[in-house]
Amino acid sequence: MVTVRFNSGMLLILVDSSLSLFSMLLKGCTSLLKDTHMGFSQTRQDITAAVKEQSDIVRIIGEHVELKKSGVRYLGLCPFHGEKTPSFSVHGSEQFFYCFGCSESGDVFSFLMKYHNYDFPTALKYLADRLNIQLPEKRVSPEERQRESKQRLLYEVAGKAADIYREFLLSGSSREAARAYLQRRGISAEAQKRFHIGYAPAKESGGWNFLGGRLTAEESALAVEIGLVVKKEGGGTYDRFRDRILFPIYDMQGRVCGFGGRIVGEGQPKYMNSPESDIYNKSKNLLGLYQQREEIRQKRKAVVVEGNFDLLALADRGCSNVVAPLGTALTSQQIRLMARYAEEATLLFDGDEAGVKAAMRAAPLFLAEEVSARVALLPSGHDPDTYVREKGLEALQALLDDASELSEFVLERLMEEHGLSLEGKSRIASELKPLAAAASSPLQRSLIISHFAEKLKIEPARLEAAVSFQETTNEPAKRHTERQKKPDASVLPITPAQKRLVEFMVMQPCFFAELERGNLRQVLQGGVGEIIFLQVRKMVEQGSEIQPEDIFASLPEGPERALVEKILLEASRIEKHKGSEAAQTELQELLQWLEMQAKRTLSTSLMVEIEQAQKENDFAKLENLLRQKQTLEREMRGD
């Protein structure tokens, strides 16, 4: 006989009979627990494993990709790159996918994170909800809960405003001017619907408080916070947007976070955007990315235009992978956001001086973010809107296909502007400094320098010296000092993460042994941090107690000594007490970070081996490597 009962949240099974009956009942009880909620004592790792185990990867991926069975696996067209022949395989029994075309791989969590741009907690919750598995609630402070609640209300008000403006464009009493304007610009009703285009009426027809009058008092107060309405000095509010075609700006969760408005009648400014708020940051969003993300993901390419109507006109005529910044020059955050979906971006800018300068300003940002970029300049007198309307999609695509690589474009423009005289080459070298400084790795920097040197017909070492030299003053004495302090071109600049590690090593030399065991040198390799590391190690090996000031005194003049000097000058904000509790806590954080870096390095190495095994058709080795990579990815996520 078998007795099953709960006691203090624990499952107790008493067995005095058939083992087979026991096994059957145990399996049934375990299934019951999984199907209702997770046990009290389960850890996050247990929950993640249970969710993954019960998730049918073939079914879930099959909801996004058409799959056909082929032996023990399923095949389909890869959703992460464009292809005509299926190379995307899903293995149900092994719970992983792999694309032989682009080398994307992972488990069911990885797929959802890559496809929907989810973070891991969101992917876990999505699957748990499907399986009716209850996740333990995250502990949040009252302040955090209040902030989240407030943010949710702000999004709701922004969404309500978008609906009000959209409805007025469709059926408002004074909508004719706005509808006529959209018709003149050739924007179809389908495109207006897709981008949820609306209209804020002029004060003559809608009054000063058109939107505010349609909101509750609580909503109106929230609308003030996100800049939809403005407070009057004497009390009351008035609308920020009047007589404007409105483009709702969506975040990547599909929530309206702001607006861009184009005036219909006379008045200035021609374009107006929402002010920044708790839900809107113009540097971190891209107009159209939410609506066009799937097309961009499929093509792995994005087209960047400068204007709202440029985007609308191109999207309306079949250029389905276009985005636009929000009234500002492109930012690093926007490029980083775009890179989640695209491997390459093409800047489609006007061919005037402003367009050329915008492209040249963007070049260092793309280099720093390691995103391939090209530039296509429009013929004189055209912007993307007029060009696609007059010439058509085929001509536009030909222009995009003929786009120049961005770094090449920058060099060619500088050569056109300054010529190749001695003075011209000197000016070109000076203007190439931001490009060389933005290189994301020593190899990339070396390749840029070598390539540009060949084009300019000068020695790479001389160009390296020219772009590395930073002249900050016209005073001869100070110029001499700057030259003395100029870093060796072969030494890499220090990153913020490396700087934090060096700060801790200098201020807490008593923990040097732990840092060394954590592979600190590997992370600092090739930069000033490694030189400081070697000096500290030498002092530690000599056996004397080290003070931060001793490290400074032991270093010769140069960038290493300058960095340690800066650390000591900033020491008031750094915990200086050796072995203190705060220092111990920071040490553990740094060691965890170093461990994660080591895993990322190993992941990259495994990816190289996977690609090689794929080329050699060594499927046994490939399967083994994919298992290793899956295990490593789980460790990196903390599963």
Boundaries of every domain in the chain: 37-130, 140-280, 595-637
* Helix/strand/coil for 36: helix
Burial label for 209, CB within 10 Å (0-12, 13-18, 19+), is middle
Predicted local distance difference test score (pLDDT) of residue 469: 58
Other CB atoms within a 10 A radius of the CB of residue 385 amount to 22
Predicted local distance difference test score (pLDDT) of residue 335: 93
Predicted local distance difference test score (pLDDT) of residue 15: 40
Predicted local distance difference test score (pLDDT) of residue 288: 96
DSSP letter at 508 equals -
DSSP letter at 616 equals T
Which string of b and e fits 601-624 if b means at least 16 CB within 10 Å?
Answer: eeeeebeeebeebbeeeeeeebee
Fold for domain 37-130?
DNA Primase; Chain A (3.90.580)
Which residues have CB under 8 Å from 98's CB, separation 6+? 88, 89, 91, 104, 105, 622, 626
DSSP letter at 422 equals H
Alpha-carbon distance 74 to 90, whole Å? Answer: 5
Which string of b and e fits 172-183 if b means at least 16 CB within 10 Å?
Answer: beebebbbebbe
Other CB atoms within a 10 A radius of the CB of residue 224 amount to 17
Alpha-carbon distance 370 to 343, whole Å? Answer: 9
Predicted local distance difference test score (pLDDT) of residue 38: 40
Other CB atoms within a 10 A radius of the CB of residue 203 amount to 14
Q: Is the peptide bond before 384 cis (omega within 30 degrees of 0)?
A: no
Q: Which amino acid does the sequence have at 250?
A: Y
Predicted local distance difference test score (pLDDT) of residue 10: 39
Sheet order of strands, 322-323 included: 322-323, 301-304, 344-349, 372-377, 404-405
* Helix/strand/coil for 238: strand
Q: What is the Cα 632 distance to its own chain's centre?
A: 22
CATH architecture for segment(s) 140-280: Alpha-Beta Complex (3.90)
Predicted local distance difference test score (pLDDT) of residue 44: 58
509 in Cβ contact with 545 (< 8 Å): no
Mean pLDDT by 10 residues, the chain (639 residues): 40 39 38 39 66 91 91 88 86 87 86 84 88 77 86 96 97 89 95 97 87 94 96 88 96 94 89 93 93 90 95 95 91 90 93 91 89 94 94 96 94 92 89 84 82 89 77 34 40 74 89 90 82 87 76 78 78 48 82 86 83 81 84 75
Structure token pair of residue 165:
């403006």
**H or E element that contains 560:** helix 559-569
Burial label for 157, CB within 10 Å (0-12, 13-18, 19+), is buried
Q: What number of residues does the chain have? A: 639
Predicted local distance difference test score (pLDDT) of residue 493: 64
271 in Cβ contact with 265 (< 8 Å): no
Predicted local distance difference test score (pLDDT) of residue 40: 36
Predicted local distance difference test score (pLDDT) of residue 550: 77
Predicted local distance difference test score (pLDDT) of residue 5: 41
Structure token pair of residue 1:
């006989």
Of 599, 623, 597, 595, give the one whose Cα is nearest residue 609.
623
